[in-house]
Amino acid sequence: MNKFNVAFCLTDTIADAWRGEGFFKESGKIQDLRAVVAIYPHATHLVVRADSGINKIEDLRGKRISPDGRGLSCDLQTQRLLGLHNMSYGDVRVQFLSFSDAAENFIDRHLDALTFITVPFPFAPIINVATQVNIKLLSLSDDDVAMLAKYPGVTRCTLPAGLYKGIDYPINGICVYSFIIVRKDMPEDIVYAMVKTIADNLDRYGDVLVSMKYVTHKGLCADVGIPYHPGAEKYFRQRGWR
């Protein structure tokens, strides 16, 4: 019996995998996969204490930061962002912690900034931080957003005000999407059925995961940086979304 794998991933890292760039430069291109549907967005959350004196990216120099784990989207985008300001991890004190551990370390003053550049919203670890610490979220400059959005799988994004305690202003940054991938040899009828099931029940998912409230039917076929599976394309065309 054939085994067909299904996985969740983010648009920026998979776009790099497809092209053999970034973290995949040494291993080479990975092109035996296809997209099924784009789902919820992951947006910029650059968290510092309200009284930290950190107001721009350059102020992170010498500071203790955490971008989550190595090789993930936040790691990738943090390195890109620092690079736009002639900085690297050598100019900060970076700790690769899980989101929850990083949040606890921030609360305990063992970290100066959470560089969660691509996470869903509202994000539970940041909700936790905001209930215990007075924080502010830094917006990225228009130039930074424009440069980062040039990469495949990355778009502009503005977080709405009011997602977190004390954050009564919108936050400008970037966005990538969580999406589903399969092997390219997945049968077309199975992928078609997967997409149809998700689309038919889309209005219900927001009751389970708040981030899904920001997903639209047409957004299910957003540009994800790699080709969609023929089964997905068939459904999208039938609905007039592509």
With a CB cutoff of 8 Å and minimum separation 6, the contacts of 208 are none
What pLDDT is attached to residue 3?
61
Q: Distance between alpha carbon 93 and the CA centroid of its chain, in Å?
A: 22
For the chain, counts of helices (H) and of strands (E): 8, 8
CA–CA gap between residue 49 and residue 60 (Å, rounded): 12
What pLDDT is attached to residue 1?
39
What pLDDT is attached to residue 2?
52
Locate the domains of the chain by residue range. Answer: 6-239
What pLDDT is attached to residue 137?
98
Whole-prediction pTM: 0.86
What pLDDT is attached to residue 234?
97
- 238 by Cβ neighbours in 10 Å (0-12 / 13-18 / 19+) ranks as exposed
What pLDDT is attached to residue 132?
96
**pLDDT < 70 stretches in the chain:** 1-4
**Residue 19 one-letter amino acid:** R
User: Which of these, 60, 63, 75, 37, lies nearest to 231 by C-alpha position?
Assistant: 37
User: Pairing mode, if any, of strands 64-66 and 93-94?
Assistant: parallel
Give tens-digit pLDDT for 134-177.
999 999 999 999 999 999 889 999 999 999 999 999 999 999 99
Q: Are 114 and 106 in contact (CB under 8 A)?
A: yes
Q: What angle do CA 204, 240, 189 make, to 5 degrees?
A: 70
CATH number of 6-239: 3.40.190.10
Q: Are 137 and 129 in contact (CB under 8 A)?
A: no
User: Pairing mode, if any, of strands 135-137 and 33-49?
Assistant: antiparallel
With a CB cutoff of 8 Å and minimum separation 6, the contacts of 156 are 145, 149, 172, 174, 175
Helix (H) / strand (E) element for 94: namely strand 93-94
What pLDDT is attached to residue 71?
86
